[in-house]
Amino acid sequence: MKARTSDRILKGPKRGPHRSFLKAVGFSHEDIMEKPLIGIANSHNDIFPGHAHLNRISQAVREGVFAAGGLPFEFHTIALCDGICMGHEGMRCPLPSRELIADSVELTQLAHAFDGLVLVTNCDKITPGMMMAAARLNAPAILISGGTMLSGFWRGNRIDDITIFEMMPKVERGEVSLAELHEIERAASPGVGCCPSIATANTMNCLAEALGLALPGNGAIPAVSAERIVLARETGKRIVALIQEDFRPDRIFTIKNLENAVAVDMAIGGSTNSVLHLMAMAYEAGIPVGLELFDRMSRTVPRLCNLRPNGPDFMEDLWRAGGIPAVMKELEAGNLIHLDTKTVAGGTLGELLQSVNRGDGEIIRPVLNPWDREGGIAVLYGNLAPEGAIVKQSAVARSRRFHRGPARVFGSEEDAVEAMLRRVVQEGEVIVIRYEGPKGGPGMREMLLATSTLVGIGLDRSVALVTDGRFSGATRGLAVGHVSPEAMEGGLIAVVRDGDIIEIDVEQRRLNLEVGPAEADKRFSIWQAPAPKVTRGYLARYGLLATSASTGAVLKARL
């Protein structure tokens, strides 16, 4: 039998104590010496619906591993819910948790020498954190997500968590009663699974499939479907085969596979957070990827889906229309995807798609009749964002893709939301929220409460928002994030003043502050970076080590 990674903890007389510990948890000598050891990174917890059911997924993976002749060993990672973190101090935590998740999987694998890894995940930062670990470790690995939640139903309408966020200003103004709000709360999230829109969780689970790190169906099968359990069991079987084939993530983390993931991202109108996460994965894999890749592909790959919050369709609709395989089949018809790439399913993507039907023509439109001729994400540049900024153009009405107006500046999301509710913000203005970047936040908070408030007070069609923070995939409207360099690092956004004119041109990819270089230099001569908002603990360390959003907000390798 060829050498295994686990040999370093099992082979030879010096490894007697190691073998004893494995026997103590219930395995025989023959088991541990003859079968591959599979680490199952389970991110289950009881706190939120995206992960509350993952023990059942993990159990199905274990069954598949046993059936294929492997030995499963489960360990756990943390998992945070962006929805519960939203709108308060907790929102500083999700993006930094991505690095902790990657680190915890890395350390467990290095310490315990598994022959392969199954990554059981679902929500926003957990999936990319685990994918980063796979790229970093390059041990045989495969990912399985917990699947999407079904949409809710209230008074004849399909609803979700976005409905509640956008209703909050109406509750504040007394237009919606607390009794009605509680009704909606019960209806909006009908069960387990990640939020049913094409927000970050579903986006990343779809992109894991497009990248080739997950089996077909991973992105869109609902959490409550029996198909999800079948997929988990097949995932457990497949990891044993990947070890036998010595199939490692470096076969998947290639520029062609990454381009396939970006193509699918553009076609489904995915979350802007995908830019951060795909760049972080590329960094871990040693592949030089910049924002220019996303800009180039957004101009060439059309948007084929109109999923919530961009449109009326939910993830379960995408599943019924054929899921990500059907999306890739449409991209194949337009010569917009690499067919010679490898996947954990075995063979090439082209071979995989031979048995796949094209989309239904409406939920997944053909490339010659798309919802939009360009992809869902656009990269903007200009003096306000010389290193780039990101906008989810699929969530911006075409009539709103140009805006020029006076700035209304805030130092935090809370201050901006309070001003909106007090009707301080006026039509035509550009809200600027700064010191919310990777360093300034710290943690690059999502501004969903701000964008939802704009929708709730009816200003989303007349006011734009610009920030060095980021947005939830559930955001809609002219919201530009990831402004780089961020304010904390002395980007021009740090010296914007109330009344300054800002021009946003999505079609031309421009983001400019109409302030000349001399005036900007004068302002910087008296500018000082504020004191860090957090000075103790992990977030303080993260703020010191975090890099720009334009590089994926990864941590510096060296001080």
Measured in residues, the chain has a length of 559
Which residues, 6 or more positions from 553, have their beta carbon under 8 angstroms from its beta carbon? Answer: 95, 276, 280, 438, 444, 546, 547
274: which 2 tokens? Answer: 């995908």
Amino acid (one-letter) located at 441: G
Rounded Cα gap, residues 478 and 236, in angstroms: 43
Rounded Cα gap, residues 341 and 118, in angstroms: 21
143, 166, 223, 228, 454 from 147: Cα distances, Å: 12, 24, 4, 7, 30
CB of 384 within 8 A of CB of 409? Answer: no
What's the per-residue H, E or C state across 220-258? CCECCCHHHHHHHHHHHHHHHHHHHCCCCHHHCCCHHHH
267: which 2 tokens? Answer: 């076609």
Strand partners, 41: 75, 119
Determine if residue 24 is left, alpha or beta; phi over 0 gives left, psi from -120 to 50 gives alpha, anything else beta.
alpha
Strand partners, 503: 404, 512
* Kind and range of the H or E run holding 143: strand 141-145
Which residues, 6 or more positions from 196, have their beta carbon under 8 angstroms from its beta carbon? Answer: 148, 149, 150, 151, 160, 202, 308, 314, 315, 316
CB of 442 within 8 A of CB of 412? Answer: no
Cis peptide before 530 (omega within 30 of 0): no
How many C-beta neighbours within 10 Å does residue 358 have? 18
CB of 549 within 8 A of CB of 438? Answer: yes
Q: Assign 3-state DSSP to the chain and report helix, strand, coil percentages, each to 5.
A: 45, 15, 40
Rounded Cα gap, residues 444 and 554, in angstroms: 12
Strand partners, 465: 431, 479
Annotated catalytic residue, options 43, 145, 472, 548: 472
Rounded Cα gap, residues 479 and 67, in angstroms: 49
* Phi, psi for 152 (deg, rounded to 5): -90, 175
16, 328, 371, 491 from 383: Cα distances, Å: 63, 37, 31, 9
What's the per-residue H, E or C state across 492-528? HHHHCCCCCEEEEECCCCEEEECCCHHHHHHHHHCCC
Asked about 472 being catalytic, the answer comes back as yes
Q: Would you name the residues annotated as active-site residues?
A: 472
